[in-house]
Amino acid sequence: MTDRERPAPEHRRPDGVTDAEVEAVGRVSEALETVEQARGHLYAFHQLLGRADRQLGDAVDKLRDAGHDETADRLETDLVGRNVLDGRWTFQVVEEFDDTYWSVFRDHERAVRDEIVAGHRHVFEAEMKEARRTHGRRGHESRP
C-alpha cells in the first residue's frame, strides 16, 4: 500500500486508543468547530454593526443637508456611536468572547487530543474517510 493509500501519520489512531475514545475526542473537536462557526458569526455581527453605524452617520449628514437638523441631531446623539451592550462596542464583545470563552475552549480541546490521541487532529474524520472512500479509485486517495 502506497503512502497515498493510507492516512497521514498525524491522522492515524495511536496504538491502544479505542473506538469510544476516538468518537469522544471527535465530538469535542466537533463542538469546537461549532464554536468556531459561531465566532465567525460574531465577527460578522461586529463588521455589520460597524458598517451600519457608518451608514447611519452618512444618513445623518444627508438629513442635515436636506434641512432636517433636528432629526439628524436626534439620530446622531442617540444612535451614532452607541454601545451595543452595556459599555461595549462590538470590538469589545469580540475581544471578551475570544479571551473568556473561545481561547479557553481551544485549550481544552487541544488538551483532550493530547491526552487521548497523542495530539492527533481529525482521527475520527480520517477513519470515516477511509471507510467511505473507494479504495484504489482516482479522486479517492487517502491523502495528496
For residue 112, give the H/E element and its range: helix 103-117
Q: How confident is the model at residue 4 (pLDDT cuts 50, 70, 90)?
A: confident
Tens digits of per-residue pLDDT, 52-99?
999 999 999 999 999 999 999 999 999 999 999 999 999 999 999 999
139 belongs to a structural domain: no
Q: How confident is the model at residue 2 (pLDDT cuts 50, 70, 90)?
A: confident
Bridge partner residues of 122 (DSSP): none
Alpha-carbon distance of 31 to 41, in angstroms, equals 15
pTM over 0.85: yes
Residue type, 4: R
66 belongs to a structural domain: yes
62 belongs to a structural domain: yes
9 belongs to a structural domain: no
Q: Count of domains in the chain?
A: 1
44 belongs to a structural domain: yes
| Three-state DSSP state, 88 | strand
Judging by beta carbons within 10 Å of its beta carbon (0-12, 13-18, 19+), is residue 81 exposed, middle or buried? exposed
- Joined together, the cell numbers standing for residue 49 give 454593526
67 belongs to a structural domain: yes
Question: Please, are residues 75 and 56 in contact by the beta-carbon 8 Å criterion?
Answer: yes
Looking at residue 6, its pLDDT comes to 87
Range of the domain at 90: 17-132
Length of the chain in terms of residues written: 144
83 belongs to a structural domain: yes
4 belongs to a structural domain: no
| Residue 1 scores a pLDDT above 70 | no
Q: In whole numbers, what is the pLDDT of the chain averaged over residues?
A: 96
